[in-house]
Amino acid sequence: MFIEPISQPHNKGWIEVVCGSMFSGKTEELIRRLKRAQIAKKKVEIFKPAIDTRYHDTDVVSHNNNSIRSTPVENSQSILLLVGDNEVVGIDEAQFLDNSLPEVCEQLAKRGIRVIIAGLDMDFEGKPFGPIPNLLSIADHITKVQAICVQCGDIAHFSYRLHASEAKVLLGEKDLYEPRCRSCYYKGKNV
């Protein structure tokens, strides 16, 4: 059961992070929160890394094909330039942005903006990924979502890469990655 984060007083910003493995519903949850903010008649803007063109060049699209208009950015500093007078800012695939993202999010929150971030907390090697660990340390609210292990059906926290590439960033979907529990992840790594 998901519990909506506690409301904050008006004119006070905060940072929410939705993290987990691939196929865990991070983007779906981000879109849900942003659409609820739109229903509440808040001014909303969403950003995504320009390198993520898997489903659409500009829109953020979940694995369930839910989508929301977004603005692609090359780096996190661009968000500060483009945020305008928005009250709620969403950032998808945050692990692909640079390490100044936590500072950018802190600046937005200090301006009174609700910042909602979605991203992988671990890379395919099971190591902390990009700016997400630092975002977790400054977040007011954290939601860790889980996928289902495709090997055994347990809860999955790991993104297992099916391809032999050692590149840190390798954009792909079910053709390159699958969610796995800890046990099945390490069994696969030892084969």
The token pair at 92 is 């998808």
What pTM was estimated for this model as a whole?
Answer: 0.86
Contact 153, 178 (CB under 8 A): no
Q: What is the mean pLDDT of residues 35-60?
A: 81
Active site residue 16: no
Domains and CATH numbers, the chain: 14-145 (3.40.50.300)
* Single-letter amino acid code for the residue at 98: D
Q: What is the mean pLDDT of residues 75-103?
A: 96
* Single-letter amino acid code for the residue at 163: H
Is pLDDT of 11 > 50?
yes
- The predicted structure's pLDDT at residue 1: 45
Catalytic residue, candidates 87, 93, 106, 178 = 93
Helix (H) or strand (E) holding 115: strand 114-120
Let me know if 112 is exposed, middle or buried by CB neighbors in 10 A (0-12, 13-18, 19+).
middle
